[in-house]
Structure 1
Amino acid sequence: MNLPNRITLARICLIPIMMFFLLVDFDFYAQLHWGSFELSVNHLIAAILFLLAASTDGIDGYIARKHNLVTNLGKLLDPLADKLLISAVLISLVELGRCDSWIVIVIIFREFAVTGLRQIALLEGKVVAASKWGKLKTILQIVAISLLLLNNFPFQFISIPFDDIAIWAAAIVTIISGVDYFVKNKELLQLDNA
């Protein structure tokens, strides 16, 4: 197994560890306090693990392309790891009451729909490459999730609900990017007349 695939597998392995810190209610439940700002230590650890896992996404792809290590396993694992990471955290944020469920449903629905489109493309021998909208969607989702995990740090000090703004922006761009993928690849969805 090559280095990019190991990095991708490490990202997948970080997910249950991150979920443990995010969802398990520790007895000591230590809190960080800074004025009116509070954050549990276990949620801080979960946020750090999320950022670490999210940062490996670009690294594995860069190494694979630069050193000609792109494999079919990597093509399968990389998007799977991304979807598992984002979905697991968003569902947990709903459980914790930090994110509206309808936003999470929209984001996860788009991820499944685009994954299905990519599967159809693969059956036709084509590849649906990531678009600019798709890349922006990923960045906004990572920013929004990070802010939600960190209780809107540092923006709560200036009373700007940037975590809410970011998750709304992520939802809107997620919808736009999904529509963009389907419009640009509509020929893949044509019914076979034979």
Structure 2
Amino acid sequence: MNLPNKITLARICLIPLMMIFLLVDFDFFPSPIHIGNFSLAFNQLMAALVFIIAASTDGIDGYLARKNNMVTNLGKLLDPLADKLLVAAVLISLVQMDKVDAWVAVVIISREFAVTGLRQIALLDGTVVAAGKWGKIKTVVQIIAIVAMLLNNFPFAFIGFEFDDVAMWLAALITLYSGIDYFVKNRGLLHSSKA
């Protein structure tokens, strides 16, 4: 197994650790961080750090695979799977914590399943469908929104601006748009003889 695939597997392995920090209430965690009216539980801070590390490995594994000619079928399967598992796990956890509305998680996760299905149809047709501009924008906005939620809207909480909510709404809208854009641009795959 090459280095990019090991990095991708590490990203998948970080998902349970992140969820433990978010969902398990350990008595030995330090007390929450308080600054004025702002409060952040230590476990949320740790989950945010794990999420940031995991999300940052996405670009690293792909870059190394392309630069060193290490692109493999396993990597093509694991990389998007790792991304979807990471985002789905954190969104479901945030729903359980009452920080994100369930419909937002459903929109984002459904888009990921739908696009994955379309990519599978493309592979059966012998076509590789690359991520488009809106897909990349979607990923960045989702990561920003999730981090803002995990950090209880830090630092925007100090000025009373609900950046985390705005970012999550924007993530849901861009996710929906990027999914529609993806299907419109690749609609020929749905009409091919093999589909």
Bucket of the pairwise TM-score, normalised by the shorter protein: over 0.9
Q: TM-score, normalised by structure 2?
A: 0.97
Give the Cα separation in 1 of the matches to 2:83 and 2:9. Answer: 11
Q: Who is 2:64 aligned against?
A: 63
Partner of 1:74: 75
Alpha-carbon shift at residue 27 of structure 1 (Å): 1.6
Q: What pairs with 1:43-192 in structure 2 (closer than 5 Å)?
A: 43-190=44-191, 192=193
Give me the whole-angstrom Cα distance separating, in 1, the residues matched to 2:183 and 2:27: 48
Measured in 1, the distance between the counterparts of 2:55 and 2:193 equals: 39
Equivalent-residue separation in structure 1 for 2:16 and 2:137 (angstroms): 26
What is the identity, as a one-letter code, of the residue corresponding to 1:93?
L
Q: % of aligned pairs identical? A: 68
How much has 1:83 moved relative to structure 2? 0.2
Q: Which residue of 2 aligns with 1:10?
A: 10
Give the TM-score taking structure 1 as reference length: 0.97
Instruction: Report how far residue 109 of structure 1 moved.
Output: 0.5
1:28 positional shift: 3.9
What value does the CA root-mean-square deviation take over the aligned residues? Answer: 1.1
What amino acid is the match of 1:189?
L
One-letter identity of the residue aligned with 1:97: D
The SS at the match of 2:26 is coil
Q: CA deviation at 1:6?
A: 0.4
- 1:192 CA displacement: 3.7
Using the TM superposition, give the Cα deviation of residue 19 of structure 1 relative to its aligned residue in structure 2, in angstroms: 0.5
Q: Deviations over 1:59-99 (max 9, x none)?
A: 00000001111000000000000000000000000000000
Deviation at 1:26, TM superposition (A): 1.5
Q: Equivalent residue of 1:152, what SS?
A: coil
Question: Partners in 2 of 1:86 and 1:178 — Cα distance?
Answer: 16
- Deviation per CA, 1:14-51: give whole Å up to 9, x if none: 00011001100112452111111111111100000000
4+ residue runs over 6 A deviation: none
Whole-Å separation in 1 of the counterparts to 2:97 and 2:106: 16
Give the CA deviation at 1:191. 6.1
Aligned residues: 193
Distance 2:193 2:120 in 1: 17
1:131-154 deviation per Cα after TM superposition (whole angstroms, max 9, x unaligned): 000000000000000000000000
